[in-house]
Structure 1
Amino acid sequence: MRRARMTKAAALLLAGSLALAACASDEEPTAGGNGGGDGGSDDLQVGLAYDVGGRGDQSFNDSAYAGVEAAIAALGGEVQEFSPNDDGSDRVEGLANLAEAGYDPVIGVGFAYADTIAEVAEEFPDTTFAVVDASVADSGLENATGLLFAEEQGSFLAGVAAALKSETGHVGFVGGVEMPLIQKFEAGFTAGAKAVDPDIQVDVEYISPAGDFTGFGDPARGQILARSMYDAGADIVFHAAGGSGSGVFQAAADTGNRAIGVDSDQYQTVDDPALQAVIMTSMLKRVDNAVEAFITDYSEGNVQGGIDILNDLESDGVGLATSGGQIDDIQQQIEDYRQRIISGEITVPTTP
């Protein structure tokens, strides 16, 4: 039974229903209940709430959608999508509407849903939730799961690749927002590059400061920052900037240099062949695998709430893409570093 008291989520629901992306049928979904469904995939109704920018970013959000798509292809069912407005002020309303409509499980994509999930999951205890990039281990919520990633480990390998392939001994990193999550990418990348070449120069720039999430959707600014690095002598730039990464790729193409993508295999996701050609590799953050596994566990009744699931190098939750063949010649060195991280010989820093 839902609580009778009037919470923020309930008040927003009474204020009016948010228009959700029309990717589900008109048939009223059946909630699976806390802890997962009964194994009947016909009733699988997934609610997917995107990070800022929504589907089409060729990166983080698209990877989450790919995971849902794969799960539905295997299990049957449907998905209903929600994209927040630019300042994210409607996240609570969006999640609450998905839960109220009976979508179950409901997945929030991105750390910005941490507080939102805590509020809405408490209001809808019979709905199963997951949040990407946010911990629920200390939340006390029994109907939520945190899907976490060792971004620093995958980024370390990206740094290794950059240092091994750089011809100038000078590389760069462009982050979307200067915040702890993105700084994990920076820390790992810098550590990996310096493990190969202690004297390598690593330039670091962020598109926007902490609290300003426009940095994930500003390709023009990403292009400017990356171009300044290339003009200063860097020949490879790694971005962890969401939709802004296309600007980094454009700067690489304009200057005849190379770039490293993030989250998805961006060699496969960019539309422009000229940009595809500059993508040396991508640091894979397998949000797709994590989301698909969570939905599969839900369909089988195997979700354990109140815990975090870490996706790291050992579980292939992070890694490097090989599309395009530009790092084929250094695969053995990359694998050596990967095994040293898995064994614990190398501990990758999580802060710059």
Structure 2
Amino acid sequence: MPHGKTVRAAAAACIAAGLLAGCASKAERASTTAPPTLKVGLVFDVGGRGDKSFNDAAYAGLERARRELGIQYQTLETGEGTEREAAMRQLVEGGSQLVFGVGFLFSDDIRQLATEFPNTKFACVDYTVKEGETLPPNLVALKFKEEEGSFLVGALAAQLSRSRLLGFVGGMEIPLIKKFEAGYKAGVAAVRPDAKVIVKYAGTTGTAFKDPTKGKELALAEYSQGADIIFHASGSTGLGVFEAARERKKLAIGVDSDQYDEAPGFILTSMVKRVDNATYDLIREVAAGQWTSGVRVFGLKEDGVAWVYDDRNKALVPDRVKATVDSLRAAIIAGKITVPSS
């Protein structure tokens, strides 16, 4: 049977020629071409997962990467001091190829670890860049123009205020949170120069970001002074601000994530900081074999900050008010307005 001889001869030739890849099984070919699963580690900031704000935004970026990119991840929560460094070190030694520190408090520790582990990639949200500093080649600083988004919610609040008194509750009194305050006050002044902003801070340590009781106390004091809308930039401390808004039947403005669900009907809007997008985008780049170290800054132009306007809160925002805020947003993006950060 010539046909049978031909088949046998072809098989013999394949083996003799060493064309193992061409004769390999489908399973063997799949095993050699399947990309390795990227392992990502993330350490939460003060307040931890479930803060309905900053940390939850970072977690949302991780979850999206798991669903869409098939990555594996591990998260850890810390307390104070050396726990941050130890947690990130644990993730590195556990095989994480990309490690996130969520919050400016990680800045010094993550830089040190990036130097110690040059083959691991690191990213820090709100990294504090020192003057003249050059980052290690395996470290990315993710920074945001919080003042720009805060300017817009300030302009919104000022137009809607009846008392001409607005409130601001900050967490830890540091330059980062001062950016929120500065932008908010500038936005208020831009549309209503005669309005005033009452400012209070929860403290000078990291615990100022996780003290709802203190947040409620400060907000009640501001409402009692006449403020009818309060913007908070204080992590889970802000949950107390929302309690005060419900109690006094006043309005509050959320931060970092859309916080409407925390007090439906009492949240005018939220100044959203797209930590979720920044986290996801960096993971996607690493998964694709791309990496560029350095400082990345996200403002209105980059869709890194925004204010929430949707079906749930639009009844609180008249069309003319929204039009003014939209116009200011366009002016900032075009460079016609420079928002102060301090």
TM range (shorter): 0.7 to 0.9
Are the counterparts in 2 of residues 41 and 75 from structure 1 also a CA contact under 8 Å? Answer: no
Q: Is residue 123 of structure 2 the alignment partner of residue 130 of structure 1?
A: yes
Q: State which of 289, 292, 296 in structure 2 corresponds to 1:301.
A: 289
Could you report, residue by residue, the CA deviation over 1:289-312 in whole angstroms, capped at 9, with x for unpaired residues?
10011101111112202x111110
Instruction: Point out 4+ residue stretches in structure 1 off by more than 6 angstroms.
Output: none
Structure 2 alignment gaps of length 5 or more: 1-32
Q: State which of 45, 48, 72 in structure 1 corresponds to 2:42.
A: 48
- The whole-number CA distance in structure 2 between the counterparts of 1:156 and 1:311 is 15
Could you report, residue by residue, the CA deviation over 1:204-260 in whole angstroms, capped at 9, with x for unpaired residues?
000002xx1111011111101111111111100000000001100111111110000
Give the RMSD, CA atoms, in angstroms.
1.5
Could you report, residue by residue, the CA deviation over 1:82-128 in whole angstroms, capped at 9, with x for unpaired residues?
1111x232111111110111111111100011001111111111001
Q: Describe how 1:150-165 pairs up with structure 2 within 5 A.
A: 150-165=145-160
Q: Is residue 101 of structure 2 the alignment partner of residue 113 of structure 1?
A: no
- The whole-number CA distance in structure 2 between the counterparts of 1:334 and 1:243 is 27
Quick one: which amino acid aligns to residue 59 of structure 1? S
- The whole-number CA distance in structure 2 between the counterparts of 1:295 and 1:138 is 24
SS at match of 1:102: coil
Could you say which residue in structure 2 is the equivalent of 1:181? Answer: 176
Q: Is residue 240 of structure 2 the alignment partner of residue 247 of structure 1?
A: yes
Could you say which residue in structure 1 is the equivalent of 2:12? Answer: none
Quick one: which amino acid aligns to residue 203 of structure 1? I
SS at match of 2:75: strand
Quick one: which amino acid aligns to residue 340 of structure 2? P
Quick one: which amino acid aligns to residue 297 of structure 1? E
SS at match of 1:43: coil
1:265, CA displacement in angstroms?
A: 0.4
- The whole-number CA distance in structure 1 between the counterparts of 2:240 and 2:65 is 32
* TM-score normalized with structure 1 length: 0.84
Are the counterparts in 2 of residues 41 and 76 from structure 1 also a CA contact under 8 Å? Answer: no
- The whole-number CA distance in structure 1 between the counterparts of 2:318 and 2:120 is 45
Could you say which residue in structure 2 is the equivalent of 1:331? Answer: 322
- The whole-number CA distance in structure 1 between the counterparts of 2:289 and 2:268 is 41
Are the counterparts in 2 of residues 237 and 260 from structure 1 also a CA contact under 8 Å? Answer: yes
Quick one: which amino acid aligns to residue 82 of structure 1? L
Percent same amino acid at aligned positions?
A: 45
Tell which structure's C-alpha radius of gyration is larger. Answer: 2
Could you say which residue in structure 2 is the equivalent of 1:23? Answer: none
* TM-score normalized with structure 2 length: 0.86
Could you report, residue by residue, the CA deviation over 1:164-208 in whole angstroms, capped at 9, with x for unpaired residues?
111111101000011000000000000000101001010000000
1:42, CA displacement in angstroms?
A: 4.9
SS at match of 2:127: coil
Structure 1 alignment gaps of length 5 or more: 1-38
Could you say which residue in structure 1 is the equivalent of 2:88? Answer: 95
Quick one: which amino acid aligns to residue 322 of structure 1? Y
Q: Describe how 1:1-352 pairs up with structure 2 within 5 A.
A: 42-85=36-79, 87-135=80-128, 138-209=133-204, 212-268=205-261, 270=262, 275-305=263-293, 307-323=294-310, 324=312, 325=314, 326-327=316-317, 329=319, 330-351=321-342
SS at match of 2:64: helix
SS at match of 2:337: coil
SS at match of 1:234: coil
- The whole-number CA distance in structure 2 between the counterparts of 1:96 and 1:291 is 19
Q: How many residues of Structure 1 are paired with residues of Structure 2 in the alignment?
A: 304
